[in-house]
Amino acid sequence: MVVISVGLAIGLIVLGVIGIIVSGIKSLANGKQDFKRIGMMAVPFVVFGISYAVFGDVPQAGVFTSVFMLGAMALTIILTGMRGTFKF
């Protein structure tokens, strides 16, 4: 029963990801999005790929990717706040 549940959950996740990719391609083809916005979605995958190549271990690469993305988010929030405060 657990195996069936996990398989169905993974199948739903895969279908969701395929739907997101198809929607992104459709929006890009219709001119609603540009390559810069679509490319930003690839940043975590690129960071994961690089960290996997460096560490060679999926869990360690996943943790590093999470920490890196959280750090980048915090840095971006700080820089945005500074820009608003000092009117850059």
Structure pTM?
0.65
Q: Measured between alpha carbons, how far is 2 from 6 in angstroms, rounded to an integer?
A: 6
Q: Who wins on pLDDT, 85 or 19?
A: 19
Segment 18-43 mean pLDDT: 84
Contacts 24+ apart (CB under 8 A), 47-53: none
Could you state, in order of their start, the residue ranges of all structural domains in the chain? 1-34, 42-88
pLDDT tens sequence across 34-87: 778 778 888 999 999 999 999 999 999 999 999 999 999 999 999 988 887 877
